[in-house]
């Protein structure tokens, strides 16, 4: 029993720490970067550049109407995150810890971007950019890195040890 509660504690602590870290960096970006030109490092390989993104990843959906963006990026994302959190709370005793941590990365990043969108009139604060010459990433934030890391980790786990997930699925207690 102690093992299960300590697993849940670590997962929830990680979730809140990641959301807090992302929110703190967005506050600093707003205070320090909003009114200045982009700041370059390492020969312009890494750039700090303030942006308010009304869309999702790489500004996907930015051209949608404000009402559509609200339904897609606030309502639907809230439902998906709630379902993922419920799944996490129901499976933390049986799923492998790396997979659970990957899910925490995705939930924390999504939750923090959702919170940012709610607090910033439908916009997410982005401020980092990486690239060489004209080949650059979109502008992103810590939450985006958490989401992409979680997706990448789940992908790696699924291709390296798919049998773990098969064993987990068959060992789930029935809902009867």
Residue 140 burial (CB count, 10 A)? 20
The residue ranges of every structural domain in the chain are 17-170
Residue 126 bears catalytic tag:
yes
- Per-residue confidence in pLDDT tens, the chain, 176 aa: 568 888 899 999 999 999 999 999 999 999 999 999 999 999 999 999 999 999 887 678 778 888 988 999 999 999 999 999 999 999 888 888 899 999 999 999 999 999 999 999 999 999 999 999 889 998 999 999 999 999 999 999 988 876 655 554 544 554 44
Options 22, 121, 144, 166, the catalytic residue:
144
Return the pLDDT at 165.
56
131 vs 115: CA distance, rounded Å: 28
Euclidean distance between CA atoms 118 and 112, whole angstroms: 10
Cα end-to-end span (Å), the chain: 22
Radius of gyration of the chain (CA): 18
């Amino acid at each position: 029993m102690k093992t299960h509660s300590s697993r849940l504690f670590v997962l929830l602590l990680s979730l809140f720490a990641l959301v807090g870290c992302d929110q703190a960096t967005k506050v600093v970006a707003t205070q320090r970067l909003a009114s200045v030109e982009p700041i370059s490092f390492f020969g312009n390989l890494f750039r700090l550049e303030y942006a308010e993104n009304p869309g999702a990843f790489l500004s996907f959906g930015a051209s949608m109407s404000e009402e559509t963006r609200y339904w897609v990026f606030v309502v639907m994302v809230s439902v998906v995150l709630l379902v993922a959190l419920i799944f996490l709370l129901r499976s933390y005793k049986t799923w492998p810890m790396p997979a659970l941590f990957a899910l925490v990365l995705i939930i924390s990043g999504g939750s923090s971007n959702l919170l940012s969108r709610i607090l910033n009139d439908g916009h997410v604060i982005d401020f980092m950019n990486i690239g060489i010459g004209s080949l650059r990433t979109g502008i992103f934030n810590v939450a985006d890195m958490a989401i992409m890391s979680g997706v990448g980790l789940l992908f790696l786990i699924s291709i390296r040890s798919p049998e773990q997930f098969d064993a987990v699925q068959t060992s789930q207690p029935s809902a009867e």
